[in-house]
Structure formats: C-alpha cells, structure tokens
Amino acid sequence: MKMYPRPEYDPQWSAEQQVAFAQLLRKDYATFVRFFWHVVEPKPLVWNWHIDVICEHLAALHQGTLPAAEGSTEPFANKLYIAIAPGCAKSSLTSVFYDAWKWLDDPGQRCLAASHDLPLVIRDNVKCRRIVESEAYGQTLQLLAVLGLQPWTMARDQNQKQYFENTRAGFRQCTTVGSGGTGKRGDSLVIDDPLKILDLIHASAQRQTELLLEVQSWYTDVFASRLNDLATGKQVLIMQRIHEDDLVGFLSKDPSWHGLVLPMQYDPEIADPDDPRTEPGEPLFPAKFPADVLERQKRTMTPGQWSAQYLQRPIPTTGGLLKADWFKRRYKYVAGHYSDNRFLPQMRRLVVSFDCANKARKLNDPTVAMLLGEDAQGTLYLLDIRRERYEYADLEFHAPKWIADWKPHHILIEDAANGTALLSKLQRTGFKPVGIVPHQDKHVRMSNQTPWCSAGQLLLPDDGCPWLPDFLFEALKFPQVKHDDQVDALSQALAWFTDNPIGTRGTYAFSTPQGVTVQDEQGKPTSLQPQNALEGSINAQTLADAQLKDLQSQVARLMRRSPAP
C-alpha cells in the first residue's frame, strides 16, 4: 500500500522560503490536508486521485470558481453535493480539515455542520479544533502575518467540543440532522451523511418514506435557512447514496447544486468528467479497496444496498413505466451457466435478443445480448445478460461465441446501426437470425409489453445475480434514464413472444425434442422446423405464412357461421 509523504518542510529554509510554503498551504487545500494529516490521524495517509478531485471541488467552492451545473442561471455554484462510498476520507475532507484550511484565508468564516449522529459530528469538530490549536498551524499563521494577514488565536471563553470560536469572530458549530436549529447563522453549511443507514434498511416501506421526508423537511425548513446570506452562502453535502429519494436525490433536481459522483467501481454512465478511470468496474481506491476486497464486500450486501452505497446508483423502489412490485417473483440464481441451475424448469424455447450500439463511446448505449427462456406454462425467465461497449469488430467476434454458449432456439437482432451488419454476418456464417425493424418509439414498444411484467409472467433472478442491479436500475427508471439498451432488448424479446405464442393454431405448437411444429386450424401438424438456431430456426417468412394462414382460417370460420343474405 503506497503511503503519501508529507510535503517537505525544512526549518533551515530562508524566511522567504518558509513564507512561500505557508502561502502554499493557504492556497492549496490538498497540500494542507497532506501536511496536517498527522495532527489528527495516527495512521499514515494513503493518497488517491479521488482525494485530489474532492479537494479541488471544495477549494473551488470556497474561492467562488466552482462551475455551475447545467441548467443554472448563474456562472458559478455555491452548493456542492458529493456522493461517495464509505471509507474514502469523506468526513475528514469536509468536516475536519476544510474549515481549518478556510480560516487561513478568511478567519471570520462561520460554519454550521450537521450529521445524523451527534458523537460523530462532535468527533470531527474536535479534530478540526485540534488542527487549529496545533503548533504547526500556529507557525503557519505567524508566517502569513508577514504577508499582512492579521494574526489570531482561539477564543478562550468559547472553546467547547460542539462550538468553538476564534478571535476574529469565526466559529464552527455542530448539530444533528432533525434538530430544531442552532440559534446561530453561518456563512457555510456542511451536511455529512444526514440519515443513519441501518434506520432506513430496517424500516418498513412506509417508515422509509417518512424518514426520507423528515430529512428533506429538516433541510428546507430549518437548516438551509441558517445562512447569513442566502444568495452567496456556501453549502456542502457529502454522503453515500442510500435511496433514490435521499437528500442527494432530492437536491440533485435543483440546478443550483453542482454534483460530484464517485462510484467505488467505475460506471461510464454516471462518470464525472474529472474521473480518470476508463474501464467499467475499475476500483475507485485500489490501494485500499482492491477488486477482490470489493467482491467480498459485495457478497455481504443485497444488490440494492451495494448499488446505492458503493455504486452511488440507488435502485428505484417503485419504478417508472415498469413497477418494482411486478418483479417480486424471482427464481433462485446459481452462478455459472443457466443450464446448470437445477432450480430452473426445463425451457421449451430460448430466445436471445440483441440491441446493438452505434459506437463504443461512453455516451452511447452499450450493446446488449439478453437471453430469455420460456417454460411449459408460458412463463418467461430472464436468464442472462451480456452488456458491453464494443466496436463492431469486437461485437462480430463475441456475438457468435455468446450464441454458441447459450444455444438459443431463436436469435432476434434490431435491424439498425451495427445490428444490420451483425445480421448479415451471422447469416453468412450459418445462423438464422430474425431482423426486427422497430416501427414505434421506445416508450410505446415497452408499454405494449407491460402485461407480461404486471401479470408476473416475467421472472428475474434473486439478489445473488451480479447483473441484476444494473438491469433493475435501468428498467425501473425507464424512460427517465440515460441509457435504455436493456429495456430495448427486453421489449424486443417480449414482443416476439407475444407475436409467436406456442399452442395457437396457425402459428407455433408445443416444441418437441425434434423441433417446433406448426399446426393447422384442426390442430394437425403441418410442418416441423429445427429447434436450435445454430441449425436453423423458423424465419420471418415462415412466421408470416403461418399467421396469414391462421387469419384466413378465422375468416373462413366466420363466413361459415354468417347467415346467407
């Protein structure tokens, strides 16, 4: 584990060099943190790029240069929220070092700090005071006095754990979320983890809603009003996400807030522009949380908890077009190939649905291959998902491997973008894919297939499935979601099952080990088609012929029943 050394300071420096170093501490927050870390933390500092990014954002907020969020009418933002997993120095950076650093520049700054737990917020208040009272900090103030900054000290009559002042009228006071107010006003507000996670996890759905609303009301009705200047006062919120309607979710709708989201594993869909990672799943803090440690931690949590607290993507609890209650029926997930899962029934049909992206860029939807199975009763099972950002050459290489691994009976590919090229490639190499040309927008296509979900006829795996959180996040937020590739693949597959029911005369009959039979109106087999898409499948023309024959039969029956004119 790489330790980051303290910035070098040599007592033998000339007076000018010492003053220059003090000025560096005053101007550069990251250097200040590194230099004073030993004052409050016994273990050596483990540095990482995310600490630099957080320090830069906090410094820009203090200096009035933090860019405003998209949609804001102001050029710069006075409010900053940071979503980051636990264990990444979030409290130290916002509640311990930050105000001590600001006092080097403006000792008259007044801060009100809040958290869900009083002992925790007092702990950080005491650490901040310890920095200010340290010998190194006092020497820094003396050196800055050479530049004309008036020296100051701690106020002896106002020096408590919850509240302390300096002789320039600056102060720091801590309180708890939900309290009735401090009676004081500040130039800045800091909120660190406003809600206790266990309280939310163990609460009923109704109580969860109440807890979230209580925090929102406390912020809007009490805490936000404690600024000396509502127009220019600074606000910081730092927390791990715990729910889609937590305080970050609530405030992120306001364009006056600048957001910094740092998931523990890289997610290009929500990546901050300052995030240097490029590979999906890349750890945020590998020196402290390498991939194997994260995997062990993930196994101790539910997908919802992991997605919210560590990936900063809380799964919606209700849903948008698709409702969470529709997916309560689950099958037991077993790691490995779906065919090895003894808890699954035998599948009479397997369908893979491709939704192919245009490019592999971060802003584009990924390419998705989704495998669905149908049991003897017609219930569908979402069995597997492959989701990658591939250029076409990579997709052309991997798609046949996925198909060979899954052995589906039918292959569906949206006939657009790279899907058109993939159709041609698979057809030339012996596969029989069906090209699907969508004629309606995404929302309508998914809306048409919601009866499968609302009736509980689409079963998802249980919480042990690694790809489930990403699927649920997208499905339950649709259509208000940045990427909808999985929803597109799903609606395409469900539409195919809707149009190709087994057991309906004139279309498909129950599949046999030899293949799928097509029946006439009397229920007699008229043809036998191979069942495996590797050898051939019922193509679009066969389907069209069967559907036309069925329609002709219905018309003939109606004519026989009609009275003569």
pLDDT per residue as tens digits for the range 422-432:
999 998 888 88
pLDDT of 534 strictly over 60: no
Residue 543 confidence (pLDDT): 46
Residue 477 confidence (pLDDT): 85
Stronger pLDDT, 202 or 359, i.e. the higher one = 202
Residue 519 confidence (pLDDT): 43
For 291-316, write each residue's pLDDT tens digit.
Answer: 999 999 988 888 788 989 999 999 88
CA distance 115 to 69: 25
Mean pLDDT of 325-350: 93
User: Residue 189 is inside which H or E element, if any?
Assistant: strand 188-192
Counting beta carbons within 10 angstroms of the beta carbon of residue 411, is it exposed (0 to 12), middle (13 to 18) or buried (19 or more)?
buried
Mean pLDDT of 127-138: 96
CA distances (Å), 231 to each of 75, 78, 106, 297, in order?
A: 13, 8, 19, 42
Mean pLDDT of 11-28: 91
pLDDT category at 92 given cuts 50, 70, 90 is: very high
User: Residue 170 is inside which H or E element, if any?
Assistant: none
CA distance 559 to 117: 77
Which residues lie closer than 8 Å to 456 by C-beta, 6 or more apart?
Answer: 326, 328, 329
Mean pLDDT of 329-358: 93
Mean pLDDT of 168-190: 90
Q: Which of 498, 506, 515 is nearest to 544 (CA)?
A: 506
For 418-457, write each residue's pLDDT tens digit.
Answer: 899 999 999 888 888 999 998 888 888 999 999 999 999 9
- Distance between start and end Cα atoms, the chain: 92
CA distance 349 to 497: 10
Residue 259 confidence (pLDDT): 96
Are the beta carbons of 192 and 95 closer than 8 angstroms?
A: yes
pLDDT of 359 strictly over 70: no
Stronger pLDDT, 551 or 229, i.e. the higher one = 229
CA distances (Å), 292 to each of 286, 304, 387, 414, 451, in order?
A: 10, 20, 22, 37, 41
pLDDT of 517 strictly over 50: no
Mean pLDDT of 334-340: 93
CA distance 449 to 442: 11
Residue 177 confidence (pLDDT): 94
Stronger pLDDT, 521 or 458, i.e. the higher one = 458
Residue 503 confidence (pLDDT): 59
Residue 121 confidence (pLDDT): 94
Alpha carbon 286 to its chain centroid, in Å, reads 19
Q: Is 87 helix (H, G, I), strand (E, B) or coil?
A: coil
Angle 527-528-532 (CA atoms, 0-180°, nearest 5)?
A: 145
Stronger pLDDT, 439 or 21, i.e. the higher one = 21
pLDDT category at 555 given cuts 50, 70, 90 is: low
The number of CA neighbours under 13 Å toward the Cβ of 465 is 23
Residue 181 confidence (pLDDT): 65
CA distance 469 to 472: 5
Question: Is the preceding omega at residue 316 within 30 degrees of 0, hence cis?
Answer: no
Token pair for 88: 């990444």
pLDDT of 13 strictly over 90: no
CA distance 82 to 66: 13
Mean pLDDT of 135-147: 94
Residue 488 confidence (pLDDT): 94
Mean pLDDT of 269-281: 90
Lowest mean pLDDT among 372-376, 387-391, 466-470, 546-550: 546-550
Mean pLDDT of 391-399: 90
Are the beta carbons of 265 and 281 closer than 8 angstroms?
A: yes
Strands (E) in 283-418, as ranges, are 330-331, 349-355, 367-374, 380-388, 410-414
Q: Is 1 helix (H, G, I), strand (E, B) or coil?
A: coil
pLDDT of 364 strictly over 80: no
Residue 302 confidence (pLDDT): 81
Please give the order of strands across the beta sheet that includes 367-374.
330-331, 458-461, 380-388, 367-374, 349-355, 410-414, 434-436
Q: Which of 355, 326, 379 is nearest to 501 (CA)?
A: 379
pLDDT category at 536 given cuts 50, 70, 90 is: very low
Residue 556 confidence (pLDDT): 56
pLDDT of 83 strictly over 90: yes
Residue 71 confidence (pLDDT): 87
| pTM higher than 0.85 | no
Token pair for 133: 């009272």
pLDDT of 319 strictly over 50: yes
pLDDT of 481 strictly over 70: yes
DSSP 194-251: -S-HHHHHTS-HHHHHHHHHHHHHHHHHTGGGGBS-TTT-EEEEEE----TTSHHHHH
Share of the chain above pLDDT 90, in %: 62
Report residue 90: phi and psi, to 5°. Answer: -65, -40
